[in-house]
Amino acid sequence: MNRVYSLGIIGADARTRALAGRLSPSAPFHAGPFAIRRWAGSPAGGDGEEAAAQAMAASVSLASSWRDALDADAVFVAGPAAGHAQAVVAALSAGRPVLCPLPLGVSASELAEVEAARRGSGAVLLSPSDLSASTAGRRALESVRAGELGQLHAVFLASRTGPAAGDVLDDLGWEALDFLAACVAAPCTRVYATGGSLFGAPGDALLANLRFAGDTIVTLELSRGLPPALAAAGPEVEIELAGVEAALRVEPYRRTVAVYRGAGAERRHWPARPVVAMLEDLQAAMEGTAGPADGDVIARQRAALAMHTALRASLSGRDVVPIAV
């Protein structure tokens, strides 16, 4: 019989909402060998009611303290980004395998604390994004890492969602920048960003150019301009990667990836829901059978943090901002 791992969940968001249904004992299709043991709100607060509602949907009682969720075989950290680092450090220090969709931390000091805890414990740490774990995003990264496109010259990445409160760089930027850090081997050297209230809400649009060492140029678009009907399906992500050998395109809401070589195009399919793929990778890492290596997770998020900080400075100063490498 296959082992069933207990899972502690800290925080609540759209990903854990999907897990609440899939990991409920009454769910017709169970998401792998995990069963929720504890559920708690984020250390940062602000998601207590949502965590309680999701725990009820999963037939699990809400823990009185977020530290109670550490009493499990593995820990899933979600909810507000401000609470990620504290929960991840505590879980790693307890020797628990951790799955924390990015960001692991929102400052260099938080990432340093996470890195120290991981080194001290040797525990598994995975920090994917919906994009990198998605059907098309995962296939695109595999093509790049396998060298199928050759050296990347130009990248276009757009992430669009519907009107909502909050800053678009914080809400959509982490995922996009993490994908760029995983996709472009060289570091980003300078950025220029412009943005504002294109669709009516403060900070609802950003357009940026990023130059990487090795002369890869990235055009980044983040916006809150989708109509509600489309936004309900999640962010609309569009990606184009142009290399010296081939080009690749990820179309919005599609699970196919088109790879263009010469006059022809090859469409590839990789079926997986992001949150389910994350759990599959966690299981593989815990059992040592397969899954992505976690050795570069801190470096990748440091690169994303450097770009995030530079974009914020460029928006504020309305000028090109260099990044020390």
Do 129 and 181 meet the contact criterion of CB atoms below 8 Å apart?
no
CATH class of 131-272+304-322: alpha beta
At residue 31, the pLDDT reads 53
Per the prediction, the chain carries an average pLDDT of 87
Inter-residue contact 316 to 219 (CB < 8 Å): no
According to the model, what pLDDT value does residue 29 have?
58
Name the pLDDT band for 197 (thresholds 50, 70, 90). confident
Judge whether 221 and 157 are in contact, CB under 8 Å: yes
DSSP alpha helix (H) spans, the chain: 14-22, 48-57, 84-93, 108-121, 130-133, 135-145, 168-183, 228-231, 274-287, 297-317
Interval 181-205 mean pLDDT: 88
Identify the weakest region by mean pLDDT among 11-25, 175-189, 257-271.
Answer: 257-271
pLDDT digits (tens, 9 = 90+) for 74-107: 999 999 999 999 999 999 999 999 999 989 999 9
Architecture of domain 5-127: 3-Layer(aba) Sandwich (3.40)
Confidence of residue 38 (pLDDT cuts 50, 70, 90): very high
Residue with the larger pLDDT of the pair 286 and 23: 286
301-322 confidence digits (pLDDT tens): 999 999 999 999 999 999 999 9
Map out the domains of the chain as residue ranges.
5-127, 131-272+304-322
Of residues 176 and 229, the one with the higher pLDDT is: 176
φ and ψ of 269, to 5 deg: -125, 135
pTM over 0.85: yes
pLDDT in tens, 232-289: 667 789 999 999 999 999 887 776 677 776 655 555 544 456 888 888 889 989 988 7
- Can you give the pLDDT at residue 226? 81
pLDDT of residue 147: 92
